[in-house]
């Protein structure tokens, strides 16, 4: 049955189709075939019963009843489907108001006194709004405890104690968020806390969209199986994703990725970063697809779904390239500018050109320099020994050339730590 039909039937009152009882034939294949035909409706009597399952079984007498949609939907469990929708809206409103109230802790902790005062006033108003949203559900719980009816009943009296519980619930959600945001702003800075809030908001957005996409059809078991099957392949593949970053980082120094000496731990971290960006963008696309897909239920608009998918994949690929590739190249350019300013570059996932002094062990003329010039008094940048060779970066010409590690003596120039001063020459 189509997912759209399942969604429509879940919003209706529980109803059951009367059908023939299960077969008791001696032959198991005949019995199995009859039960399969019974499940798809070939042995229905045409009678439809409304109400609970127990009432339907009593009224069906000698016959049996079946649900009009698969058992996995669980629509006939006695719950009000419209009540579930109202609860979902209540959770969304409460989360949005509490989150907005919590974000106001940033200006309250980092701004001037008048901005902090406005943030406190805004937090109070949002908390009052959140308490107003929570109040009907407090009425429901207290009315249910007293044997009352629905919260929409006008005879339910709102006591001061109910409003107090609503305020406590609102303060329990917005208060800790506000305090944690203010403390985080004091300890770190406003930009870091704001990025953390945006990351959490993106996680909530992606979770809701992927949940919608998973519930729209019957592909959930397939996706879970694929995810479990891919896990053993992901961990070994992490070792092969780091060259993507180091290729664009080393382009600023005219150095290839295989010429940069990086520890295995940092290669794993760099690969995990590339994989995390890829998975995050893929989940974001799936979440957007889950939110957009219900808008194309019309058969005519459904024809535009492939165009929407291609339009979404293009900015997704562009975002991956900008985040991963351009980010690595920008880090390489920043490292070059740091060297030119006389400071040792910062680490980029364990890779950075360290200032070194190079002295040939034998005659300088016997070194295979491949047309390059080696000056023992000049400070070069080195990415370590890889494959028996040391790749030296000349900051004057901007070129890089390999030198056999057993033919030269490589000594650090200066402290070599990130941010340390680079000596002007090896004489000093």
Name residue 229's beta-bridge partners: none
What would the pLDDT profile of 253-271 be if each residue is shown by its tens digit? 888 888 888 888 888 888 8
Nearest to 380 by CA among 334, 344, 406: 344
Query: Which 3 state secondary structure label does DSSP give 87?
Result: helix
- Residues 391, 398, 254, 424: what is their CA dihedral angle, to the nearest 10 degrees? 40
Q: Alpha helices, DSSP H only, in 112-157?
A: 113-145
Question: Domain check: are 182 and 224 in the same one?
Answer: no
Nearest to 67 by CA among 113, 16, 20: 16
Q: Which positions ≥6 away from 167 have C-beta within 8 Å?
A: 127, 131
Q: Is residue 125 part of a domain?
A: yes
**Structure pTM?**
0.60
Asked whether residue 60 falls in the same domain as residue 92, the answer is: no
* Torsion 421-424-426-428 (CA) sign: negative
End position of a domain, from candidates 187, 202, 233: 187
Q: Name residues whose C-beta falls within 8 Å of residue 23's C-beta, 6 or more positions apart in sequence.
A: 30, 31, 34, 35, 38
Do residues 354 and 382 touch, judged by C-beta distance below 8 A?
A: yes
- Is 396 a member of any domain? yes
Residue reference for tokens 């403390």:
183
Same structural domain for residues 182 and 111?
Answer: yes
Is there a single domain that holds both residue 67 and residue 129? Answer: no
Domain co-membership, 54 together with 14: yes
Q: Which spans in 239-263 are helix H?
A: 242-250
On whether residue 255 sits in a domain, the answer given is yes
Q: Give residue 161's pLDDT.
A: 59
Residues 240 and 300 in one domain: yes
Does 325 fall in a domain? yes
What's the pLDDT at 153? 44
Which residues of the chain have a pLDDT value below 70? 1-15, 40-42, 45-46, 51-54, 61-62, 67-90, 135-162, 215-240, 297-302, 365-366, 368, 370-371, 428
Residue 147: what pLDDT? Answer: 45
Report yes or no on 377 lying in a domain: yes
Q: Is 417 helix (H, G, I), strand (E, B) or coil?
A: coil
Domain hosting 132: range is 83-187
Residue where one domain finishes, among candidates 143, 163, 187: 187
Question: ∠ CA(407), CA(345), CA(372), 5° rounding?
Answer: 35
CB 422 within 8 A of CB 355: yes
Question: Is 167 a member of any domain?
Answer: yes
195 belongs to a structural domain: no
Encode pLDDT of 187-227 as tens digits: 888 888 888 888 888 888 888 777 777 766 545 555 655 56
At which of 187, 203, 235 does a domain end?
Answer: 187
Say if residues 229 and 220 touch (Cβ distance below 8 Å).
Answer: no
Please tell me whether residues 271 and 326 are part of one structural domain: yes
Residue 209 lies in a domain: no
Q: What is the b/e burial string over 331-363, where b = at least 16 CB atoms within 10 angstroms of the residue's CB? A: bbeebbebbeeebbbeebbbbbbbbbbbeeeee
Residues 219-251 as b or e (16 or more Cβ within 10 Å = b): eeeeeeeeeeeeeeeeeeebeebbbbbbbbbbb
Give yes or no: residues 327 and 358 share one domain.
Answer: no
Query: Are 227 and 334 in the same domain?
Result: yes
Q: How crowded is residue 195: how many other Cβ atoms within 10 Å of its Cβ?
A: 11
- Domains identified in the chain, total number: 4
238, 298: one domain:
yes
CA-to-CA separations, 192 to 104, 165, 316, 362, in angstroms, rounded? 14, 34, 25, 53
232 and 331 in a single domain? The answer is yes
Same domain, 231 and 334: yes
């Amino acid at each position: 049955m189509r997912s759209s039909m399942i969604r429509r039937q879940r919003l209706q009152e529980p109803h059951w189709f009367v059908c023939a009882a299960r077969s008791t034939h001696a032959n198991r294949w005949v019995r199995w075939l009859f039960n399969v035909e019974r499940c798809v409706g070939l042995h229905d009597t045409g009678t439809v019963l409304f109400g609970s399952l127990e009432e339907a079984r009593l009224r069906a007498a000698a016959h049996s009843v079946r649900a009009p949609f698969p058992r996995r939907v669980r629509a006939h469990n006695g719950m009000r489907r419209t009540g579930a929708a109202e609860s979902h809206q209540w959770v969304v409103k409460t989360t949005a108001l509490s989150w907005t109230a919590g974000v106001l802790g940033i200006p309250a902790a980092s701004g001037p006194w008048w901005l902090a005062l406005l943030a406190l006033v805004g937090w109070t108003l949002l908390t009052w709004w959140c308490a107003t949203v929570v109040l009907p559900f407090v009425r429901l719980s207290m009315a249910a405890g007293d044997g009352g009816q629905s919260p929409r009943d006008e005879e339910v009296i709102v006591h001061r104690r109910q409003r107090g519980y609503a305020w406590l619930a609102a303060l329990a959600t917005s208060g800790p968020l506000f305090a944690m945001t203010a403390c985080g702003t004091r300890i770190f800075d406003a930009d870091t806390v704001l990025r953390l809030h945006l990351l959490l908001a993106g996680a909530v957005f992606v979770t809701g969209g992927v949940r919608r996409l998973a519930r729209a059809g019957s592909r959930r078991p397939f996706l879970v199986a694929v995810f479990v099957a891919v896990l053993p392949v992901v961990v070994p593949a992490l070792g092969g994703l780091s060259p993507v970053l180091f290729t664009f980082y080393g382009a600023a120094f005219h150095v290839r990725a295989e010429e940069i000496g990086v520890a295995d731990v940092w290669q794993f971290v760099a690969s995990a970063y590339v994989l995390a960006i890829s998975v995050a963008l893929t989940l974001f696309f799936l979440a957007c697809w889950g939110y957009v897909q219900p808008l194309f239920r019309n058969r005519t608009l459904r024809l535009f779904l492939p165009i929407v998918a291609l339009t979404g994949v293009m900015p997704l690929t562009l975002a991956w390239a900008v985040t991963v590739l351009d980010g690595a190249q920008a880090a390489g350019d920043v490292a070059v500018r740091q060297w030119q300013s006389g400071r040792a570059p910062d680490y980029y996932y364990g890779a950075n050109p360290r200032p070194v002094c190079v002295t040939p062990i034998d005659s300088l003329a016997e070194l295979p320099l491949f047309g390059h010039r080696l000056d023992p008094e000049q400070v070069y940048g080195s990415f370590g020994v890889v494959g028996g060779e040391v790749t030296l970066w000349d900051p004057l010409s901007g070129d890089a050339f390999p030198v056999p590690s057993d033919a030269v003596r490589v000594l650090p120039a200066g402290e070599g730590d990130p941010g340390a001063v680079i000596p002007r020459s090896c004489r000093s």
